[in-house]
């Protein structure tokens, strides 16, 4: 990526963020994380209490891309075929014809994903990792870009099924929105006469353009010292006394991928240690499995990541790495 391309990327990124910010007020940081996940070709998990705008954020991101988007309300009686599709016998041709499910879209909103059974949750594993659905031995590709934005409520646990670690690892990032500040709340109340689904975001990019921009983000320069820094961070999660299962290699790759996109969104064609620090918690925290005693003592995965960032020294020359790769 050249310096000029990085500037163009940042301008486009800011346009997308401003559009969604008209719907989700006062949450620019979360919106930037969401678009970072989109252009890093990954999936996003939004975990927060009810009424914070999780569904509104996911819908606004889908609307900002001129592609297809579907919303699936996860419930205990939802079946895998309701998501991926089913094969139906056609009496005229005496053959089975595959009818595609809602997962065949560019942006798929999996609302309250933890309310579906583990069998239904597992139906998303293949398509989230490989971008394809296999039914009756036949593989069906999903069109790019493909992103799953899942929401879940951490408070109401009755009638829910906790996402297994293998599925959590498929999400590039996990973040929460939180309550708006007073100024944002006043603006929300001023628009109380409009229903939430009446607020629409004008599309900025076509689906094809999203793929092109995502491929451009992959060309951001990463110095060897940054790779070493990420490797040391991930290794520290595995040796932490509070952690039973540390971040996987997939987590390390995710941190590099998102750091590239994050750097480009700031108008830079190279990654700095600060990019890694900004993304370490949303990329790595949900991949950690804490020790039961640590959880009982109130230790959180986010606090573990925060301590590791303090204890792991970044590359000294990270900010000065301005290799001319244009």
SS3 138: strand
* In the predicted structure, residue 217 carries a pLDDT above the cut 60: yes
pLDDT one-digit tens code per residue, 239-283: 988 988 888 899 999 999 999 999 999 999 999 999 999 999 999
What pLDDT score was predicted for residue 318? 43
Question: Which fold does the domain 1-195+202-212 belong to in CATH?
Answer: Rossmann fold (3.40.50)
Number of H helices, E strands in the chain: 14, 13
Question: Which fold does the domain 220-312 belong to in CATH?
Answer: Helicase, Ruva Protein; domain 3 (1.10.8)
* In the predicted structure, residue 291 carries a pLDDT above the cut 70: yes
pLDDT one-digit tens code per residue, 94-115: 888 888 999 998 888 888 888 8
Quick one: DSSP state of residue 79? Answer: -
Domain boundaries, the chain: 1-195+202-212, 220-312
Read off the pLDDT of each residue in 176-181 and give the average, rounded to a whole number.
Answer: 81
d(CA 165, CA 126): 15
User: Do the bridges between strand 147-152 and strand 107-111 make them parallel or antiparallel, or are there none, so unpaired?
Assistant: parallel
What pLDDT score was predicted for residue 31? 92
* In the predicted structure, residue 221 carries a pLDDT above the cut 60: yes
Grade residue 323 by pLDDT with cuts at 50, 70 and 90: very low
What pLDDT score was predicted for residue 194? 63
* In the predicted structure, residue 141 carries a pLDDT above the cut 80: yes
């Amino acid at each position: 990526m050249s310096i000029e391309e990085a500037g163009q990327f940042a301008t486009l990124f800011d346009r997308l963020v401003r559009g969604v910010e008209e719907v989700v007020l006062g949450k620019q940081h979360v919106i930037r994380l969401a678009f970072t996940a989109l252009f890093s070709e990954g999936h996003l998990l939004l975990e927060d209490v009810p009424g914070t705008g999780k569904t509104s954020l996911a819908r606004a991101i889908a609307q900002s891309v001129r592609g297809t988007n579907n919303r699936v309300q996860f419930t205990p009686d939802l079946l895998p075929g309701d998501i991926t599709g089913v094969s139906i016998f056609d009496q005229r041709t005496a053959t089975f014809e595959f009818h595609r499910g809602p997962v065949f879209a560019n942006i798929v909103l999996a609302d309250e994903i933890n309310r579906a059974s583990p069998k239904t949750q597992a139906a998303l594993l293949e398509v989230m990792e490989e971008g394809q659905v296999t039914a009756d031995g036949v593989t069906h590709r999903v069109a790019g870009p493909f992103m799953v934005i899942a929401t879940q409520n951490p408070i109401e646990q009755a009638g829910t099924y906790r996402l297994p670690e293998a599925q959590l690892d498929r999400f590039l990032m996990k973040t929460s929105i939180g309550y708006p500040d007073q100024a944002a709340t006043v603006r929300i109340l001023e628009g109380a006469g409009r229903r939430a689904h009446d607020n629409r975001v004008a599309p900025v990019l076509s689906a094809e353009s999203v793929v092109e921009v995502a491929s451009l983000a992959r060309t951001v320069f990463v110095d060897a010292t940054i790779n070493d820094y990420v490797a040391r961070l991930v290794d520290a999660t595995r040796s932490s006394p509070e952690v039973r299962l540390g971040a996987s290699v997939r987590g390390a790759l995710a941190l590099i991928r998102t750091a590239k996109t994050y750097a480009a969104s700031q108008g830079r064609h190279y990654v700095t240690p600060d990019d890694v620090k900004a993304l370490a918690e949303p990329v790595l925290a949900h991949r950690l499995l804490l020790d039961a005693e640590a959880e009982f003592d109130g230790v959180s995965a986010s606090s573990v990541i925060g301590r590791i960032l303090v204890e792991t020294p970044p590359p000294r020359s990270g900010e000065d790495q301005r290799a001319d790769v244009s």
